[in-house]
Amino acid sequence: DVKVTQSSRYLVKRTGEKVFLECVQDMDHENMFWYRQDPGLGLRLIYFSYDVKMKEKGDIPEGYSVSREKKERFSLILESASTNQTSMYLCASTSDNEQFFGPGTRLTVL
Amino acid sequence: QKEVEQDPGPLSVPEGAIVSLNCTYSNSAFQYFMWYRQYSRKGPELLMYTYSSGNKEDGRFTAQVDKSSKYISLFIRDSQPSDSATYLCALNDYKLSFGAGTTVTVRA
C-alpha cells in the first residue's frame, strides 16, 4: 500500500513564525502536491513538484514556498505565518491519475 | 466562477436511501473524473475514477459523467452509516481541480 505521511497531525504556531510541514511518500512517485482544505472551499492547490528540485506554483502560492531535495520528501514552508493560513494542509503523491493523500496537518496560527 | 462547483450540503439521509451527489464544471479540457471520499480527520481516498461519458458501477456506487452538459454525479445505493463522510469530486487535465465537497450523514 502507498503510504504518505505528514510530520504532524496538529500544529499551533504564532503569527510571524516560520513553519515547516514535512511530507514523505514511500512509493517512488515523481509527482507530489500540497493543498490546503477550508470549509466551503474544498482543496486548493498551493504548490506541486514533478521531480527533485522542480516546483510549480498552484492556484494559491502566495505566502508559501516549497522544497524538494529528495524524491520521497516534499516540504511546505510558511516563511512568516499569518492567521489566514490557519487551515488543514494535505500532501499527496501521484501514480498515474490517482492521488494518494496523507492524513493532513491541522495548523492553527494564533 | 469556480472551475468545479459542488453543493457542500450537508446531506442527511436514512439508512438504505439512495444518496445523489453532483458537480458541474466549466473547463472542457477536463479528461478524467474522480470521486474521493474523506472520513473525518483523514485524508481523501479515491473512490471511483472514469474518463468517459456514461455510467460506471462499483458495488453500491455509480459514477455518471455527462460531458456535453459538464455534469458529473455519484450515486450511493442502499446507503449505510459507514458511508457517512465528505465526498469530493475531482477533475483532471494536467492537475486535479476539486469541488468543495459534500458532507453526507447516513442515519441508522
Q: Are B8 and A104 within 8 A, CB to CB? A: no
Which residues have a Cβ under 8 Å from the Cβ of B59 and sit 6 or more positions away? none
Q: What pLDDT band is residue A96 in, cutting at 50, 70 and 90?
A: confident
Q: B81 in helix, strand or coil?
A: helix
Residue A4 phi, psi dihedral angles, 5° rounding: -120, 120
The H or E element that residue A8 is part of is none
Which residues, in sequence order, are CB contacts of A1 under 8 Å at separation 6+?
none
pLDDT in tens, A19-66: 999 999 998 999 999 999 998 888 999 999 999 989 999 999 999 999
Sheet of A19-25, strand order: A4-6, A19-25, A73-78, A64-70
User: Are B96 and A45 inside 8 Å of each other by CB?
Assistant: yes
Give the DSSP letter of residue A43. Answer: E
How confident is the prediction along chain B (108 residues), in pLDDT tens digits per residue?
678 999 888 999 999 999 999 999 998 888 889 999 999 989 999 999 888 888 999 999 999 999 999 999 999 999 999 999 999 999 987 778 899 999 999 999
Residue A103, preceding bond cis, omega within 30 degrees? no
User: CA of A53 to nearest chain B CA: how many angstroms apart?
Assistant: 19
Query: Do A43 and B88 lie within an 8 Å CB cutoff?
Result: yes
Cell of A94: 501521484
- Rounded Cα distance, A13 and B54, in Å: 47
**Mutation to test the B interface, candidates A45, A99, A101, most B Cβ within 10 Å:** A99
